[in-house]
Amino acid sequence: MSEYLLYYWPGLPGRGEFVRLVLAEGAADWTDVELEGPPGDAPELKDVLQDASLHHAPFAPPFLQHGQTLIAQTPLICDYLGQRLDLSPDYEAERRFALQCALTIADLVAEAHDVHHPVSAMLYYEDQKAPAQKSAEVFRAERIPKFLAWFEQVLANNPHGAGRLAGDRVSHADIALAHCVEGLEYAFPNTMGDALGDAERVANLKRAVMERENIAAYRRSDRRQDFTADGVFRHYPELDAAA
C-alpha cells in the first residue's frame, strides 16, 4: 500500500490537483483512491464521508490518509505534506507565512468558483447565468488584479529567495499559486493575458514551478487531471473579457 492515500472525486482536477502537484514534486509514494472510477462514483470516498463514528471527520474532499492520520482542507494537507517532503520553509515564521499564502490562494480559488456559481453551488450554471455575468465583471476588473498585486508584493519583498513566496526554496505555497494561475488562465484566458502583464513575478513563478522536473513529468503522465467544464476552474467564453 502506498504511504499516502488521496481521496478526491474521479475525473475532476478541482482542489485535489493542488495536493497531487505537491505529492509529485516531493516524489511521494501515493495512491489516488478513486482515480479510475467514473465521475461522481467514489464508493471508498463516500464511505469515509458517511462514517458517523469518526472524530477527525472530513467535511468534503480532498482528504489525505497517512497511516492513522486523516487530514482535510487543501492548504492544511499541503502544509502537512510540505513539512514531510521538503517543500516547506525551515523557519517557523516562514512556514506560517507559507500557510498564510496557501490560505489566501484558497480564497482566490473559492472566488473563481463562485463566479460561475454566484447564487448556489447546488444550482446549475445555466440557472444563474445573469448573476454570473455580473460576478465575472467584478472578478475580472477588481478581484484578480487585487490578488495578483498582493502576490507580486510578497514575491518582491521576500528577503530569503528571489521568486519564492516564503523561505529560500520552492514550497507548497509556490506550487499552489502556480496551479491557481494556470486554472485562471484556463477559465479567463483573455483576462489573464492582460493581468499577468502587470504581474511579471507571478508569471515567472508559475512558469518556473511548472518546468520543475518532477512536476513536468507528472503533467505528462496519465495521472494528471485536465481542467474540465465541471471543475472549480471553468471556461465560459461569455464570462471572460473580450479578446
Q: Residue 23 in contact with residue 33, Cβ under 8 Å?
A: no
What is the CB neighbour count within 10 angstroms for residue 192?
A: 23
The CA distance from 25 to 59, in Å, is 27
The per-residue pLDDT for 162 is 75
Domain 4-84 -> CATH class: alpha beta
pLDDT at 40: 67
Which residues of the chain are under the pLDDT cut of 70? 1, 36-40
pLDDT of residue 35: 81
C-alpha grid cell, residue 145: 488584479
Q: Any idea where the domains of the chain sit in the sequence?
A: 4-84, 92-239
pTM to 2 decimal places:
0.96
Q: Residue 125's pLDDT is what?
A: 94
- As a CATH number, domain 92-239 is 1.20.1050.10
For 184-222, the pLDDT digits (tens) are 999 999 999 999 999 999 999 999 999 999 999 999 999
Predicted local confidence at residue 12, as pLDDT? 85
Of the candidates 112, 117, 226, the one whose C-alpha atom is nearest the C-alpha of residue 180 is: 112
Could you list the beta-strand ranges (E) of the chain: 4-7, 30-32, 63-66, 69-72
All cell numbers assigned to 47:
464511505
Residue 77 is predicted with a pLDDT of 98
Q: State residue 98's pLDDT score.
A: 98
